[in-house]
Amino acid sequence: MSVHHGTLIGLGILLLSVGVVVASTFVGSIPLIVFGISLCLGALALLVTGVRMAMSNVQVTVPGHYLLHPRTGTRFNPQQALAIQRRLDQMRREMSADSVTRRPEPEPSLPSTPPPWTMEPPPSYDMVMNSQNGEQL
């Protein structure tokens, strides 16, 4: 933002605040209320002008792929950008070709009957409760 834009915006904010103070302080005097409102309208015009001038200098995002434009603000020359784009397309085609030709491995089937039980059965509820009561005493 250049000095002119900053000056317009700063002056607009200052005049807007002065206009609001004048209009709200002198409630009984109609000419001062009109003066405060006109200051506010003029300040809004200055603010809009300053913001429009500042926004006219803002660079819009560069069209194209974001990978082709590094964050430093420099751009690849057209030959480099084309080479990068071709390489990205080639990698994309290879990846899609791999996914088409590769088949997922089948999961091993589960046996039809469960394996025999090799563990001893758990203790009964009464046995567990009796052993806990004996430990608590």
Give how far the C-alpha of residue 122 lies from the chain's centroid of Cα atoms, to the nearest Å: 55
**Domain-located, residue 82:** yes
Domain check: are 73 and 46 in the same one?
A: no
The DSSP secondary structure of 34-85, one letter per residue, reads HHHHHHHHHHHHHHHHHHHHHHHTSPPPPSS-GGGS-TTS----HHHHHHHH
Residue range of the domain that includes 11: 3-56
- How many domains does the chain fold into? 2
Residues 17, 22: Cα–Cα separation, whole Å: 9
pLDDT at 74: 58
Domain check: are 19 and 50 in the same one?
A: yes
Domain check: are 13 and 33 in the same one?
A: yes
As given in the structure block, the two tokens for residue 134 are: 């004996």
Domain check: are 45 and 12 in the same one?
A: yes
pLDDT at 40: 92
Tens-place pLDDT, residues 26-84: 878 888 889 999 999 999 998 998 888 888 766 555 555 555 555 555 567 778 878 88
Are residues 54 and 78 in contact, defined by beta-carbon separation less than 8 angstroms?
Answer: no
**Domain-located, residue 113:** no
pTM above 0.75, yes or no: no
